[in-house]
Amino acid sequence: MDPITYPLTSDGPFSPAKEARIPVSRLRYLDGDLGWLVSKRSMIREILADPRFSARQELRSTFFASAADTPPAPPGMFIGMDPPGHTRYRRHLTGQFTVRRMRLLTEHIEQVTADYLDRMAELGPPADLVKAFSAPIPAQVICELLGAPLDYRERFMAEMMTMSRTDVSKDERTAALTSVLTYLAALVKQKRKSPSDDLLSGLIQDSDLTDEEVTNVALLLLGGGLDTTANVLALGTFALLLDKAQIPALTDPANTENAVEELLRYLPVVPGTARTALEDVEVDGVQIKAGETVMLSLPGANRDTEKFADPDTLDLHRDTHGHVAFGHGVHQCLGQQLARVEMRVAFPALFRRFPDLTLAVSPEEVPLRDDMVIFGVHSLPVTW
């Protein structure tokens, strides 16, 4: 069988690409190098927990460039590092993202959500749920958490959108990145001089990180806090509007937590992550050679029939224990508790406020984000 060509295209709004459903296959990257595509859940968990597989970005092809064109991760950009560098940054941030701290944010997130729902009601139907609800809520929350002025969130959203597009030039992507880093660097200098009660100030005061390191950490947090949660909220709402019988299971407080976990399992928002073998490794009978990059399909793993019965069905009463929407191992998503809080608040609030919410267009007319690193919808026209 010929190798699959990377990148992959989605197979509809709620299903991973058909190639990402194959347990293990050969994959040809943009630079022509051969690697692997894995969607088998047990293999993915094994690889993500194995230190013989590296997360260092200079060792692998990316969405936009070959490994030969990718420099090492700059100071603070810890998702592209291995221990001990990764461990150092992660340790400093763990205290900022505790479950307790995220739960303390719940009341504030409830108020932010209510404010945007009030605005939707005032403006009246129809509305684009992405612009009116799913994008601005996580944008405001992450800006407040970082201590960034809220009047900059529109700029953040626009620049981060450009950075995650797959159809823009390298120069456009670099310009957007430079713009965000310039602002964040100035914000970090301001926080060092005049700290306040926010995550960046706490990170500066409680660590020995340089301004450059804190700036790059802030960029990671901003990217994770903006795009991923926004697309889960929008794509999740799309799925629920096509299967309204599921909504009571989400708005039932006794089942909301479980329902959110099922949405995380079901929605193919984050296409995957990659690791590069540091030596020859055999995983589940597959020989992976040193230097080969393995693309790990998280949506594919979340549809693995060995773990989840009838995995292509959204079932908000399902036991979703063991999904890998946030990854696995030492690189498991640091902001997952914040994302969960936002989803547990926003989804039920939306459907309680607008119980007759419905799509304002046919499902086929909803524009999918096939041109983005993070999958979802560009807009979601709704009415009520």
- DSSP reduced 3-state for 287: strand
Q: Residue 251 is part of a domain; what is its CATH number?
A: 1.10.630.10
pLDDT score at 185: 96
84-141 per-position pLDDT tens digit: 999 999 998 887 777 777 777 899 999 999 999 999 999 999 999 999 999 999 999 9
Q: What is the DSSP string of 317-364?
A: TS--TT--TT--GGGS-TTHHHHHHHHHHHHHHHHHH-TT-EESS-GG
pLDDT of 66 over the 90 cut: no
Note down the domain range covering 228: 4-383
pLDDT score at 302: 97
pLDDT score at 31: 73
Domain count, the chain: 1
Residue 134 CA to residue 382 CA, distance in Å, equals 12
314-341 per-position pLDDT tens digit: 999 999 999 999 999 999 998 898 999 9
Pairing of strands 4-5, 24-28: parallel
Q: What is the dihedral of CA 334, 337, 338, 341, to 10 degrees?
A: 170
Is the full-model pTM beyond 0.85? yes
